[in-house]
């Protein structure tokens, strides 16, 4: 496969994690403009662990998810009383705080005679685990899509479970959820933590492919995109936000003349879709229709096989 195609696919896969993270919060009725902070925490935490302390990526990844998940749960806990626009602004403020902390942080150790570690606006470089172990972009492709497959499977299981119903109920009507005896506080914190951990996966992969990350990688632009992916792709299924990523990175990439104007085209696409499809392309109604069609097709196939 062409190296450029692999890079595009890796970016689509990497963005899918932050899109799924924002999607999970949207399901619970919260709009977050701050998921880029957890993507950044994932990138920096995993990068610090592999570059400064020589850990394997496979150990650094779950630890980075844990760090990011705990930070997200903390933010979720602190912002419990906030709703709607106030919650969105609080998440944006938190993300900007994290970015500015990264700009102000210098912490370096010497590894083989080289200073390694976060260096303020110069970022965190020398994240060479993949390079030193001779991982090619195609190896990262398998790693990203393998992990994405596991995360998607967990999403499908969650959406068919009691937890999925509870999250959607809270998202639809918080008061109704409370009257049904659901501990909304506990579930809100859980969802925030899970969303943070999922975003961290994308950040960890990004850091190890790029080998250098900068604080400005995690600014509001990434947060707006992550939110838009779910809104474009649809909130009916976890495939929705991935469809949103595909439309942005994949489609806009394929149409060459768009590339210099991609933000304008992307903004227009979001605006048009939100007018005509407020809950995205794969909204709950379309997903239900698709599932019914699929079930009918399966019944017909099995019936024909039985005869």
Partner 1 sequence: MRIVFAGLAAIALSAGPALAKDRAAVKIECKETATNLVYDCMLHLSGRKSEKPIEGARVAVKPDMPTMPGAHNIRASTATPAGTPGAYGFRMKLDMYGIWALKVTVTGPLRDIVVQKIEFRK
Interface contacts to partner 1, rule CB under 8 A: 3-4, 7-8, 11, 14-15, 50-51, 54-59, 111-114, 116, 125-126, 128-129, 131-133, 206, 210-212, 214, 216-217, 219, 221-222, 225, 249, 253, 259-260, 262
CB of 292 to partner 1, least distance (A): 37
Which residues are within 8 A (CB) of 173 and not within 5 positions of it... i.e. 6 or more apart? none
Residue listed under structure tokens 């698709």:
290
> Residue 8 or residue 287: which is nearer to partner 1 going by CB?
8
Nearer to partner 1, 131 or 297 (CB): 131
- Structural tokens at position 111: 């590894």
Between 81 and 112, CB nearer to partner 1: 112
- Rounded to a whole number of angstroms, the minimum distance from the CB of residue 165 to partner 1 is 34
d(CA 306, CA 177): 44
Taking the complex as a whole, how short is the minimal distance between the CB of residue 282 and partner 1, in angstroms?
A: 23
Complex with partner 1: residue 45 or 222, whichever CB lies closer? 222
Least Å from the CB of residue 208 to partner 1: 11
Q: Would you say 152 and 238 are in contact if contact means Cβ atoms under 8 Å apart?
A: yes
Pick 23 or 214: Cβ nearer partner 1? 214
Q: Given phi > 0 = left and psi -120 to 50 = alpha, else beta, which region is 108?
A: beta
Report the SS3 class of residue 291.
Answer: helix
Q: Which of 182/210 has CB closer to partner 1?
A: 210
- Shortest distance, CB of residue 39 to partner 1, whole angstroms? 9
DSSP 3-state of 29? coil
Orientation of helix 220-233 relative to helix 3-27, angle to 10°:
80
Identify the bridge partners of residue 109 per DSSP, sorted by sequence position.
116
Q: How far is the CB of 307 from partner 1 (least distance, A)?
A: 51
Q: Which residues contact 106 (CB under 8 A, 6 or more apart)?
A: 117, 118, 119, 120
Which is nearest to 149 in space by CA: 139, 141, 160, 138? 141
């Amino acid at each position: 496969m062409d190296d450029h195609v692999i890079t595009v696919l890796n970016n689509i896969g990497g963005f899918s994690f932050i899109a799924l993270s924002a999607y999970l919060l949207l399901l619970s009725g919260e709009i977050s403009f701050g998921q880029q902070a957890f993507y950044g925490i994932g990138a920096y935490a995993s990068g610090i662990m592999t570059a400064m302390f020589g850990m394997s990526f496979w150990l650094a990844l779950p630890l980075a998810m844990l760090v990011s998940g705990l930070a997200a749960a903390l933010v979720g806990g602190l912002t419990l009383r906030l709703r709607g626009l106030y919650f969105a602004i609080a998440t944006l403020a938190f993300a900007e705080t994290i970015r500015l902390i990264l700009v102000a942080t210098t912490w370096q150790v010497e590894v083989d005679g080289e200073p390694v570690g976060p260096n303020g606006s110069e970022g965190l470089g020398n994240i060479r685990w993949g390079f030193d172990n001779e991982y090619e972009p195609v190896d990262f492709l398998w790693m990203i899509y393998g992990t994405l497959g596991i995360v998607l499977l967990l999403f499908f299981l969650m959406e068919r479970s009691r937890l999925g119903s509870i999250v959607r109920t809270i998202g639809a009507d918080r008061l109704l959820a409370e009257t049904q005896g659901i501990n909304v506080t506990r579930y809100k914190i859980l969802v925030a933590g899970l969303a943070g951990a999922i975003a961290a996966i994308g950040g960890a992969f990004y850091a190890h492919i790029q080998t250098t990350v900068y604080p400005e990688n995690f600014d509001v632009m990434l947060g707006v995109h992550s939110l838009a992916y779910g809104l474009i792709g649809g909130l009916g299924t976890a495939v929705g936000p991935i469809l949103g990523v595909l439309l942005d990175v994949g489609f806009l990439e394929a149409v060459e003349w768009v590339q210099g104007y991609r933000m304008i085209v992307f903004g227009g696409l979001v605006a048009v879709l939100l007018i005509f499809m407020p809950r995205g392309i794969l909204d709950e109604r379309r997903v239900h229709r698709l599932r019914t069609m699929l079930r009918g097709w399966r019944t017909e196939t099995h019936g024909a096989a039985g005869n």
